[in-house]
């Protein structure tokens, strides 16, 4: 991996760490109201201004970032693990289960799972706390996002299983589990890393979307989705332009993720 790729990954990792700990950096209590300074413009005391209730928008942005990033990371880990386990098992063992795996993967990829998860919200108890609702829905998204990484891992495992050193290990009687752990699993790490960078922003956007529809974190808790909701009142932007600042501040996360994906992909191609 060259210096440029390492720099891209370092920037992305740095942004993730800063946002994940965003609640620790918040200068004010994100839910504390000060009606006497409501809708104040940006200043040295309130970098992003204040909202309708006089709450510091910058503090709410950082607190919302912590939840969005941490929930995105958790959902990504669950989705990748399920995909790796399914794809690795099917690719390494093969047999009749392979055809069933492919058909099940086709079904999973063809369904609009975000809308399915939104529909499942009706099943959850109405008195469930908003963060518990959002965590449950993100985990459901993770469970149904296994198909794409699983297919990629399956293809990689099939390719690696035909390599000469794997055939030699089998000929010498090396146990199958040891072959998988020592020779197959390391070869799938590049695919998993790239898929992590693809799934993570999707889960963050899913959290924002669910909150936007009122199915996730709700008032008075801070959420990135709440900043998107504020943009529906377009007429306010002419007089309160600073409402755009939180939304624009989300862009570095997604841009750095896109650059990191390209860096990992280029490094993977160079290693082949």
pLDDT in tens, 229-255: 777 665 666 777 777 777 788 888 888
Q: How many CB atoms lie within 10 A of CB 88?
A: 19
At residue 262, the pLDDT reads 81
Residue 241 belongs to a domain with what CATH number? Answer: 1.10.3720.10
Among the listed residues 82, 74, 73, the one whose alpha carbon sits nearest the alpha carbon of residue 147? 82
Could you report the per-residue pLDDT of 23-64, keeping only the tens digit for each?
888 889 888 888 888 888 888 888 888 888 889 988 988 888
- Which range among 85-94, 126-135, 150-159 shows the weakest confidence by mean pLDDT? 126-135
- C-alpha dihedral, 103 to 104 to 107 to 109, nearest 10°: -110
At residue 236, the pLDDT reads 64
Taking the C-alpha atoms of residue 115 and residue 137, their distance in angstroms, rounded to an integer, is 11
Taking the C-alpha atoms of residue 237 and residue 244, their distance in angstroms, rounded to an integer, is 8
Could you report the per-residue pLDDT of 179-235, keeping only the tens digit for each?
888 888 888 887 888 888 888 888 888 878 777 777 777 777 888 877 777 776 656
Residues 6+ apart with CB under 8 A from 128: 136
| Four-residue CA torsion sign, 45, 47, 50, 55 | negative
Taking the C-alpha atoms of residue 140 and residue 120, their distance in angstroms, rounded to an integer, is 9
Could you report the per-residue pLDDT of 22-32, keeping only the tens digit for each?
888 888 988 88
Could you report the per-residue pLDDT of 69-88, keeping only the tens digit for each?
888 888 899 889 988 888 88
**Chain centroid to CA 155:** 23
- Helix axes 57-93 and 130-143, enclosed angle (nearest 10): 30
Confidence grade of residue 109 (pLDDT, cut at 50, 70, 90): confident
Q: Note whether 63 and 13 are within 8 A (CB).
A: no
CA angle at residue 190 from 185 to 194, to 5 degrees? 130
What distances in angstroms separate CA 144 from CA 107, 124, 125, one per listed residue?
10, 18, 21
Residue 63 lies in domain: 3-271
Taking the C-alpha atoms of residue 183 and residue 188, their distance in angstroms, rounded to an integer, is 10
Whether 94 has a pLDDT exceeding 80, the answer reads: no
Could you report the per-residue pLDDT of 147-191, keeping only the tens digit for each?
888 888 888 888 888 788 878 888 888 887 788 888 888 888 878
Residues 6+ apart with CB under 8 A from 178: 169
At residue 74, the pLDDT reads 87
Taking the C-alpha atoms of residue 30 and residue 17, their distance in angstroms, rounded to an integer, is 20
Q: Note whether 251 and 271 are within 8 A (CB).
A: no
Question: Which neighbouring-strand residues pair with 56?
Answer: 50
Look at the chain and report how many structural domains it folds into: 1
Q: What are phi and psi of 100, to 5 degrees?
A: -65, -40
């Amino acid at each position: 991996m060259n210096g440029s790729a390492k720099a891209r990954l370092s920037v992305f990792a740095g942004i993730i760490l800063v946002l994940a700990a965003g609640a620790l950096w918040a200068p004010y209590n994100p839910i504390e109201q000060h009606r006497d300074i409501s809708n104040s413009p940006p200043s040295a005391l309130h970098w992003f201004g204040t909202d309708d209730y006089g709450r510091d928008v910058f503090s709410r942005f950082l607190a919302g970032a912590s939840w969005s990033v941490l929930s995105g990371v958790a959902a990504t880990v669950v989705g990748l693990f399920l995909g790796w386990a399914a794809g690795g098992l099917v690719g390494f063992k093969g047999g009749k289960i392979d055809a069933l795996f492919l058909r099940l993967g086709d079904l999973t990829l063809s369904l609009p799972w975000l809308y399915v998860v939104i529909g499942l919200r009706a099943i959850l108890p109405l008195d469930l706390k908003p963060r518990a609702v959002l965590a449950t829905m993100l985990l459901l998204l993770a469970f149904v996002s296994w198909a794409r990484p699983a297919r990629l891992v399956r293809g990689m495992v099939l390719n690696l299983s035909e390599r000469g050193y794997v055939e030699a290990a089998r000929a010498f009687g090396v146990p199958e589990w040891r072959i998988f752990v020592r020779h197959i699993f390391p070869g799938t790490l590049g695919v998993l890393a790239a898929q992590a960078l693809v799934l993570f922003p999707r889960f963050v956007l899913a959290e924002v979307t669910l909150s936007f529809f009122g199915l996730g974190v709700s008032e008075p808790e801070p959420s990135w989705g709440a900043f998107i909701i504020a943009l529906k009142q377009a007429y306010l932007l002419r007089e309160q332009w600073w409402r755009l600042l939180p939304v624009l501040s989300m862009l570095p996360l997604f841009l750095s993720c896109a650059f990191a994906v390209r860096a990992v992909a280029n490094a993977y191609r160079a290693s082949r």
